[in-house]
Structure 1
C-alpha cells in the first residue's frame, strides 16, 4: 500500500485520468474529491462490497434457475 501525505487542496493523480483532492480535514474526518471519467465507477468500500455480494447472489440464483430448467427439459 502506498501512503501519501497531502494538505488541503493538494491532489494525487491515479493513472492518467483520476484526480483525488483533499477538500477538508476536520478532526478525524477527511473529505476528498474525486475527479474521474464517467465510465469509472467510484464507491465507498462498504458499498462496493455490498454490490459485489449482491451480484454474486444474483448469479448463484440465476444459475440455479437455469439448472432446474435444464433438468425439466431433460425429463420431457
Structure 2
C-alpha cells in the first residue's frame, strides 16, 4: 500500500488515465474526486462488496435452478 500526504488542490496520478483530486478537508472527512475513462468502474468498497455478494447469491440460485431442471428432465424421461 502506498501512503501519501496531499493538500487540497493536489492530484495523485494512477497510470496514464486516472487522476485522484483532493477537493476539501472537513474535519475528519476528506472529499476526493476521480477522473478516469468511462470504462473504468469506480465504486466505494462497501458498494462493491454488496454487489459481489448479490452476484454470488444469484449464481447459487441459478445453480440450484439448473439442478432442479436436470432432476425434472431425468424424472420426465423415466415415465
Normalised by the length of structure 2, the TM-score is: 0.91
- Provide the aligned length of Structure 1 versus Structure 2: 76
- Residue in structure 2 matched with residue 2 of structure 1 by the alignment: 2
Structure 1: segments with no counterpart, 5+ residues: none
How far the C-alpha of 1:40 sits from its partner, in A, is 1.0
Larger radius of gyration: 2
1:10-29 superposed Cα distances (whole Å, 9 cap, x missing partner) = 11111221110100011100
In 1: Cα distance, 2:16 partner to 2:59 partner: 33
Moved over 6 A (4+): none
Cα RMSD after superposing both structures: 0.8
